[in-house]
Protein backbone atom coordinates (compact mmCIF):
# COMPACT_ATOMS: atom_id res chain seq x y z
CA UNK A 1 0.00 0.00 0.00
CA UNK A 2 1.41 3.37 -0.98
CA UNK A 3 1.66 6.19 1.53
CA UNK A 4 -1.17 8.02 -0.26
CA UNK A 5 -3.54 5.05 -0.12
CA UNK A 6 -2.67 4.47 3.54
CA UNK A 7 -3.71 8.05 4.31
CA UNK A 8 -6.96 7.55 2.34
CA UNK A 9 -7.64 4.27 4.15
CA UNK A 10 -7.08 5.91 7.55
CA UNK A 11 -9.37 8.81 6.62
CA UNK A 12 -12.11 6.40 5.57
CA UNK A 13 -11.83 4.25 8.70
CA UNK A 14 -11.83 7.34 10.91
CA UNK A 15 -15.00 8.58 9.19
CA UNK A 16 -16.57 5.14 9.45
CA UNK A 17 -15.76 4.74 13.14
CA UNK A 18 -17.00 8.30 13.82
CA UNK A 19 -20.27 7.32 12.15
CA UNK A 20 -20.47 4.22 14.36
CA UNK A 21 -20.18 6.19 17.60
CA UNK A 22 -23.56 6.26 19.27
CA UNK A 23 -24.58 9.46 20.99
CA UNK A 24 -26.87 9.76 23.98
CA UNK A 25 -28.94 12.85 24.75
CA UNK A 26 -28.98 13.50 28.50
CA UNK A 27 -32.18 14.72 30.24
CA UNK A 28 -30.64 18.22 30.37
CA UNK A 29 -30.01 18.21 26.60
CA UNK A 30 -26.27 17.58 26.72
CA UNK A 31 -25.00 14.96 24.30
CA UNK A 32 -22.44 12.33 25.33
CA UNK A 33 -21.16 9.01 24.09
CA UNK A 34 -21.98 7.11 27.26
CA UNK A 35 -25.21 7.84 29.16
CA UNK A 36 -23.48 7.17 32.50
CA UNK A 37 -21.62 10.45 31.96
CA UNK A 38 -24.87 12.50 32.03
CA UNK A 39 -24.69 12.44 35.85
CA UNK A 40 -21.56 14.58 35.66
CA UNK A 41 -23.21 17.68 34.17
CA UNK A 42 -24.85 18.79 37.45
CA UNK A 43 -21.47 18.32 39.15
CA UNK A 44 -19.80 20.37 36.43
CA UNK A 45 -22.33 23.20 36.80
CA UNK A 46 -21.99 23.16 40.60
CA UNK A 47 -18.19 23.24 40.76
CA UNK A 48 -17.83 25.83 38.01
CA UNK A 49 -20.20 28.16 39.87
CA UNK A 50 -19.28 27.42 43.46
CA UNK A 51 -15.74 25.97 43.56
CA UNK A 52 -14.12 27.75 40.61
CA UNK A 53 -16.04 30.99 41.18
CA UNK A 54 -17.64 31.19 37.75
CA UNK A 55 -15.01 29.26 35.83
CA UNK A 56 -11.84 31.09 36.85
CA UNK A 57 -8.31 29.72 36.36
CA UNK A 58 -7.37 30.92 39.85
CA UNK A 59 -6.30 29.56 43.20
CA UNK A 60 -8.96 26.85 43.41
CA UNK A 61 -8.39 25.58 39.86
CA UNK A 62 -4.63 25.50 40.54
CA UNK A 63 -5.13 23.68 43.83
CA UNK A 64 -7.49 21.19 42.17
CA UNK A 65 -4.69 20.27 39.75
CA UNK A 66 -2.10 20.04 42.54
CA UNK A 67 -4.23 17.67 44.64
CA UNK A 68 -4.83 15.48 41.56
CA UNK A 69 -1.04 15.01 41.37
CA UNK A 70 -0.54 14.49 45.11
CA UNK A 71 -3.31 11.87 45.27
CA UNK A 72 -2.17 9.97 42.17
CA UNK A 73 1.58 9.92 42.74
CA UNK A 74 1.08 7.76 45.87
CA UNK A 75 1.77 4.79 43.63
CA UNK A 76 4.77 2.61 42.90
CA UNK A 77 5.60 -0.03 40.33
CA UNK A 78 7.93 -1.71 42.83
CA UNK A 79 6.67 -1.04 46.37
CA UNK A 80 3.35 -1.14 48.14
CA UNK A 81 3.05 2.59 48.85
CA UNK A 82 -0.59 3.31 48.02
CA UNK A 83 -3.38 3.05 45.50
CA UNK A 84 -2.56 5.95 43.17
CA UNK A 85 -5.43 8.10 41.90
CA UNK A 86 -7.91 6.69 44.40
CA UNK A 87 -8.99 9.63 46.58
CA UNK A 88 -6.98 8.43 49.57
CA UNK A 89 -5.69 11.96 50.16
CA UNK A 90 -9.29 12.92 51.10
CA UNK A 91 -10.59 9.69 52.63
CA UNK A 92 -7.40 9.09 54.64
CA UNK A 93 -6.64 12.78 55.06
CA UNK A 94 -5.85 12.37 58.75
CA UNK A 95 -2.77 10.41 57.64
CA UNK A 96 -1.79 11.95 54.31
CA UNK A 97 -2.36 15.62 55.13
CA UNK A 98 0.22 15.32 57.89
CA UNK A 99 2.95 14.55 55.33
CA UNK A 100 5.29 17.52 54.86
CA UNK A 101 4.94 17.47 51.05
CA UNK A 102 1.17 17.87 51.38
CA UNK A 103 1.45 21.25 53.14
CA UNK A 104 -1.48 23.46 52.11
CA UNK A 105 -3.47 20.61 50.55
CA UNK A 106 -5.79 20.68 53.58
CA UNK A 107 -7.38 23.85 52.14
CA UNK A 108 -8.46 22.26 48.88
CA UNK A 109 -9.54 19.08 50.69
CA UNK A 110 -11.77 21.21 52.93
CA UNK A 111 -13.09 23.09 49.89
CA UNK A 112 -13.80 19.91 47.90
CA UNK A 113 -15.32 17.77 50.69
CA UNK A 114 -18.81 19.36 50.58
CA UNK A 115 -18.97 18.77 46.81
CA UNK A 116 -17.92 15.12 47.22
CA UNK A 117 -20.62 14.73 49.88
CA UNK A 118 -23.24 16.42 47.68
CA UNK A 119 -22.63 14.36 44.54
CA UNK A 120 -22.59 10.62 44.09
CA UNK A 121 -18.91 10.37 43.11
CA UNK A 122 -16.00 8.57 44.76
CA UNK A 123 -13.31 10.88 46.15
CA UNK A 124 -10.88 9.53 43.53
CA UNK A 125 -13.26 10.39 40.70
CA UNK A 126 -14.10 13.80 42.13
CA UNK A 127 -10.44 14.81 42.49
CA UNK A 128 -9.60 13.94 38.88
CA UNK A 129 -12.85 15.42 37.55
CA UNK A 130 -12.35 18.71 39.41
CA UNK A 131 -8.76 18.83 38.15
CA UNK A 132 -9.81 18.41 34.51
CA UNK A 133 -12.61 20.98 34.87
CA UNK A 134 -10.35 23.45 36.73
CA UNK A 135 -7.65 23.16 34.04
CA UNK A 136 -10.28 23.77 31.34
CA UNK A 137 -10.71 27.27 32.80
CA UNK A 138 -7.12 28.15 31.89
CA UNK A 139 -6.54 29.76 28.48
CA UNK A 140 -4.31 27.58 26.31
CA UNK A 141 -4.78 24.40 28.37
CA UNK A 142 -5.55 21.07 26.77
CA UNK A 143 -8.98 19.51 27.25
CA UNK A 144 -7.98 16.82 29.75
CA UNK A 145 -9.49 13.35 29.68
CA UNK A 146 -11.69 12.09 32.50
CA UNK A 147 -12.52 8.49 33.30
CA UNK A 148 -15.37 7.65 35.69
CA UNK A 149 -15.70 4.77 38.14
CA UNK A 150 -12.81 4.65 40.61
CA UNK A 151 -13.74 2.58 43.68
CA UNK A 152 -13.11 3.93 47.20
CA UNK A 153 -9.47 3.77 48.35
CA UNK A 154 -8.29 0.85 50.43
CA UNK A 155 -5.81 2.75 52.57
CA UNK A 156 -3.59 5.83 52.79
CA UNK A 157 -0.58 6.41 50.57
CA UNK A 158 2.84 6.16 52.21
CA UNK A 159 4.86 9.23 53.16
CA UNK A 160 7.63 10.44 50.80
CA UNK A 161 5.79 9.51 47.62
CA UNK A 162 5.25 13.20 46.71
CA UNK A 163 8.45 14.93 45.56
CA UNK A 164 9.62 18.00 47.47
CA UNK A 165 11.20 21.14 45.95
CA UNK A 166 14.42 20.59 47.91
CA UNK A 167 14.83 16.97 46.69
CA UNK A 168 17.75 16.30 44.33
CA UNK A 169 17.07 15.81 40.63
CA UNK A 170 18.23 12.20 41.03
CA UNK A 171 15.68 11.56 43.74
CA UNK A 172 12.87 13.37 41.86
CA UNK A 173 13.52 11.44 38.65
CA UNK A 174 13.73 8.17 40.62
CA UNK A 175 10.35 8.87 42.24
CA UNK A 176 8.74 9.62 38.87
CA UNK A 177 10.36 6.54 37.33
CA UNK A 178 9.03 4.38 40.17
CA UNK A 179 5.54 5.68 39.36
CA UNK A 180 6.06 4.90 35.66
CA UNK A 181 7.23 8.26 34.24
CA UNK A 182 10.45 8.80 32.28
CA UNK A 183 12.31 12.15 32.65
CA UNK A 184 10.66 13.59 29.52
CA UNK A 185 7.26 12.70 30.96
CA UNK A 186 8.10 14.36 34.28
CA UNK A 187 9.02 17.54 32.38
CA UNK A 188 5.71 17.39 30.50
CA UNK A 189 3.81 17.07 33.79
CA UNK A 190 5.65 20.09 35.15
CA UNK A 191 3.90 22.25 32.56
CA UNK A 192 1.36 22.28 35.42
CA UNK A 193 3.57 24.87 37.12
CA UNK A 194 2.61 27.23 34.29
CA UNK A 195 -0.73 27.63 36.11
CA UNK A 196 0.55 27.61 39.68
CA UNK A 197 1.58 29.62 42.68
CA UNK A 198 2.97 28.95 46.13
CA UNK A 199 1.25 29.70 49.41
CA UNK A 200 3.26 27.57 51.80
CA UNK A 201 6.85 28.03 50.63
CA UNK A 202 6.76 31.55 52.04
CA UNK A 203 3.50 32.16 53.89
CA UNK A 204 4.30 35.90 54.09
CA UNK A 205 3.79 36.22 50.31
CA UNK A 206 0.88 33.86 49.53
CA UNK A 207 -0.13 33.35 45.92
CA UNK A 208 3.37 33.98 44.51
CA UNK A 209 3.29 32.54 40.95
CA UNK A 210 5.85 30.30 39.26
CA UNK A 211 5.62 32.28 36.03
CA UNK A 212 4.38 35.66 34.89
CA UNK A 213 1.12 34.24 33.44
CA UNK A 214 -0.42 31.95 36.10
CA UNK A 215 -3.88 32.23 34.52
CA UNK A 216 -2.65 30.94 31.16
CA UNK A 217 -1.28 27.53 30.21
CA UNK A 218 1.73 28.56 28.12
CA UNK A 219 5.49 28.04 27.99
CA UNK A 220 6.57 31.17 29.94
CA UNK A 221 7.27 28.89 32.90
CA UNK A 222 9.93 27.01 30.90
CA UNK A 223 11.57 30.32 29.89
CA UNK A 224 11.44 32.08 33.24
CA UNK A 225 12.86 29.12 35.21
CA UNK A 226 15.93 29.44 32.92
CA UNK A 227 16.55 33.15 33.57
CA UNK A 228 19.86 33.95 35.24
CA UNK A 229 19.95 35.67 38.57
CA UNK A 230 18.16 35.29 41.81
CA UNK A 231 17.35 38.88 42.76
CA UNK A 232 14.03 39.16 44.59
CA UNK A 233 12.99 41.45 47.37
CA UNK A 234 13.87 39.68 50.58
CA UNK A 235 16.27 36.81 50.99
CA UNK A 236 16.08 33.07 50.49
CA UNK A 237 13.37 31.96 52.86
CA UNK A 238 12.97 28.29 52.21
CA UNK A 239 15.37 25.55 51.13
CA UNK A 240 13.00 24.71 48.27
CA UNK A 241 13.00 28.21 46.81
CA UNK A 242 15.24 29.97 44.31
CA UNK A 243 14.45 33.62 43.88
CA UNK A 244 13.56 35.03 40.48
CA UNK A 245 14.88 38.09 38.64
CA UNK A 246 11.21 38.86 37.95
CA UNK A 247 9.80 40.73 40.89
CA UNK A 248 6.83 38.93 42.44
CA UNK A 249 7.71 35.54 40.93
CA UNK A 250 9.04 32.49 42.80
CA UNK A 251 11.00 29.58 41.42
CA UNK A 252 11.11 26.18 43.05
CA UNK A 253 14.59 24.76 43.48
CA UNK A 254 13.33 21.54 41.84
CA UNK A 255 12.14 23.38 38.70
CA UNK A 256 15.31 25.50 38.62
CA UNK A 257 17.47 22.35 38.85
CA UNK A 258 15.46 20.22 36.37
CA UNK A 259 15.71 23.12 33.88
CA UNK A 260 19.52 22.91 34.08
CA UNK A 261 20.24 19.23 34.65
CA UNK A 262 21.77 17.37 31.66
CA UNK A 263 19.12 14.65 32.02
CA UNK A 264 16.22 17.05 31.51
CA UNK A 265 17.60 20.40 30.20
CA UNK A 266 16.95 19.63 26.51
CA UNK A 267 13.39 18.46 27.19
CA UNK A 268 12.89 21.64 29.22
CA UNK A 269 14.23 23.89 26.48
CA UNK A 270 12.29 21.98 23.81
CA UNK A 271 9.08 23.06 25.55
CA UNK A 272 9.87 26.75 25.02
CA UNK A 273 7.56 28.28 22.39
CA UNK A 274 6.15 24.86 21.44
CA UNK A 275 2.70 25.35 22.90
CA UNK A 276 0.98 22.65 20.81
CA UNK A 277 3.52 19.97 21.70
CA UNK A 278 3.43 20.84 25.41
CA UNK A 279 -0.36 20.87 25.40
CA UNK A 280 -0.50 17.41 23.77
CA UNK A 281 2.19 15.93 26.03
CA UNK A 282 0.57 17.32 29.18
CA UNK A 283 -2.81 15.92 28.16
CA UNK A 284 -1.29 12.49 27.56
CA UNK A 285 0.66 12.45 30.85
CA UNK A 286 -2.30 13.74 32.87
CA UNK A 287 -4.47 10.91 31.54
CA UNK A 288 -1.75 8.45 32.60
CA UNK A 289 -1.43 10.11 36.02
CA UNK A 290 -5.19 10.01 36.56
CA UNK A 291 -5.21 6.26 35.93
CA UNK A 292 -2.36 5.28 38.27
CA UNK A 293 -3.48 2.30 40.32
CA UNK A 294 -6.71 1.98 38.30
CA UNK A 295 -7.76 -0.46 35.61
CA UNK A 296 -8.88 1.68 32.67
CA UNK A 297 -11.08 -1.18 31.39
CA UNK A 298 -13.27 -0.81 34.49
CA UNK A 299 -13.77 2.93 33.94
CA UNK A 300 -16.05 4.87 31.57
CA UNK A 301 -14.55 7.50 29.30
CA UNK A 302 -16.43 10.70 30.14
CA UNK A 303 -13.91 13.08 28.55
CA UNK A 304 -16.68 14.64 26.46
CA UNK A 305 -18.11 16.24 29.64
CA UNK A 306 -14.96 18.35 30.15
CA UNK A 307 -15.31 21.88 28.72
CA UNK A 308 -13.06 22.92 25.83
CA UNK A 309 -10.54 25.55 27.04
CA UNK A 310 -10.11 28.88 25.25
CA UNK A 311 -7.14 28.82 22.84
CA UNK A 312 -3.83 30.56 23.55
CA UNK A 313 -3.27 33.47 21.19
CA UNK A 314 -0.10 35.02 22.63
CA UNK A 315 3.53 34.25 21.87
CA UNK A 316 6.36 33.06 24.06
CA UNK A 317 8.59 35.97 24.98
CA UNK A 318 11.41 37.18 27.21
CA UNK A 319 10.56 39.59 30.04
CA UNK A 320 10.75 43.30 29.23
CA UNK A 321 14.32 44.47 28.90
CA UNK A 322 15.76 40.93 28.76
CA UNK A 323 17.80 39.32 25.99
CA UNK A 324 19.24 35.89 25.25
CA UNK A 325 22.23 36.77 27.46
CA UNK A 326 19.83 36.69 30.44
CA UNK A 327 18.95 33.05 29.75
CA UNK A 328 21.05 30.30 31.32
CA UNK A 329 21.06 28.10 28.23
CA UNK A 330 21.54 24.63 29.64
CA UNK A 331 20.82 22.31 26.71
CA UNK A 332 24.05 21.69 24.87
CA UNK A 333 22.45 19.98 21.87
CA UNK A 334 20.25 22.68 20.37
CA UNK A 335 20.36 26.49 20.18
CA UNK A 336 17.88 28.35 22.37
CA UNK A 337 14.87 29.52 20.33
CA UNK A 338 14.86 33.13 19.15
CA UNK A 339 12.43 35.10 21.29
CA UNK A 340 11.62 38.79 21.46
CA UNK A 341 11.32 40.67 24.74
CA UNK A 342 8.16 42.26 26.01
CA UNK A 343 8.09 46.01 25.29
CA UNK A 344 8.41 48.58 28.03
CA UNK A 345 10.14 48.64 31.40
CA UNK A 346 10.28 45.54 33.63
CA UNK A 347 7.04 45.01 35.50
CA UNK A 348 6.37 42.93 38.58
CA UNK A 349 4.23 39.80 38.62
CA UNK A 350 0.98 40.07 40.57
CA UNK A 351 0.10 37.42 43.16
CA UNK A 352 -2.73 34.98 42.42
CA UNK A 353 -5.70 36.31 44.42
CA UNK A 354 -7.64 34.13 46.83
CA UNK A 355 -4.70 32.33 48.41
CA UNK A 356 -5.66 30.85 51.75
Active-site residue list: 70
Ligand-binding site membership of 304 (annotated)? no
Please state, in angstroms and rounded to a whole number, the distance separating the CA atoms of residues 132 and 143.
Answer: 7
Ligand-binding site membership of 84 (annotated)? yes
Q: What SS3 class is residue 227?
A: strand
Site string for ligand HEM, 115-154 (x = CB under 6 A): ----------------------------------------
Residue 201 binds to ligand HEM (criterion: CB under 6 A): yes
CB of residue 3 vs ligand HEM: minimum separation in angstroms?
37
Residue 205 binds to ligand HEM (criterion: CB under 6 A): no
Ligand-binding site membership of 212 (annotated)? no
8 Å CB contact between 138 and 312: no
Positions 234 through 263 that interact with ligand HEM (CB under 6 A): 240, 252, 254
For the chain, the straight-line distance linking the first and the last C-alpha, in angstroms and rounded, comes to: 61
CB of residue 237 vs ligand HEM: minimum separation in angstroms?
11
**Residue among 40, 48, 51, 66 that touches ligand HEM (CB under 6 A):** 66
Alpha helix positions (H), 240-338: 253-260, 265-271, 275-290
How many alpha carbons lie under 13 Å from residue 209 in its C-beta half-sphere?
A: 27
Site string for ligand HEM, 212-231 (x = CB under 6 A): --------------------
Please state, in angstroms and rounded to a whole number, the distance separating the CA atoms of residues 138 and 215.
Answer: 6
Q: Report which DSSP code applies to 298.
A: G
Please state, in angstroms and rounded to a whole number, the distance separating the CA atoms of residues 127 and 112.
Answer: 8
Residue 65 binds to ligand HEM (criterion: CB under 6 A): yes
8 Å CB contact between 311 and 143: no
* Window of 10-18, 188-196, 267-275, 310-318 that interacts with ligand HEM by CB under 6 A: 188-196
Residue 278 binds to ligand HEM (criterion: CB under 6 A): no
Q: What is the CA radius of gyration of the chain?
A: 21
CA 324 to chain centre: 28
**Residue among 30, 50, 95, 200 that touches ligand HEM (CB under 6 A):** 200
Please state, in angstroms and rounded to a whole number, the distance separating the CA atoms of residues 43 and 45.
Answer: 5
Residue 211 binds to ligand HEM (criterion: CB under 6 A): no
Q: Which residues bind ligand HEM (CB under 6 A)?
A: 59, 62-63, 65-66, 69, 104, 163-165, 172, 189-190, 192-193, 196-201, 240, 252, 254
Question: What residue numbers does the annotated binding site cover?
Answer: 71, 84, 86, 88, 193-194, 211, 213, 218
Amino acid sequence: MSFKSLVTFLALTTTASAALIRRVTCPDGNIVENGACCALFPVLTDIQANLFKGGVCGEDAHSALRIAFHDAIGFSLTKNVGGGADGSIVVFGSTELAFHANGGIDDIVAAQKPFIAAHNLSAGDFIQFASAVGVSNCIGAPRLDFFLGRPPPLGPAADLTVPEPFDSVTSILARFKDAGFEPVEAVALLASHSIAAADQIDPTIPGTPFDSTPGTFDTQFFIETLLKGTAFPGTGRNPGEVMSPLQGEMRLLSDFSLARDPRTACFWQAAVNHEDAVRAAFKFEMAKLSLLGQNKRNLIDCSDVIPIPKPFTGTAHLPAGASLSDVEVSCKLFPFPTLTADPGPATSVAPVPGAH
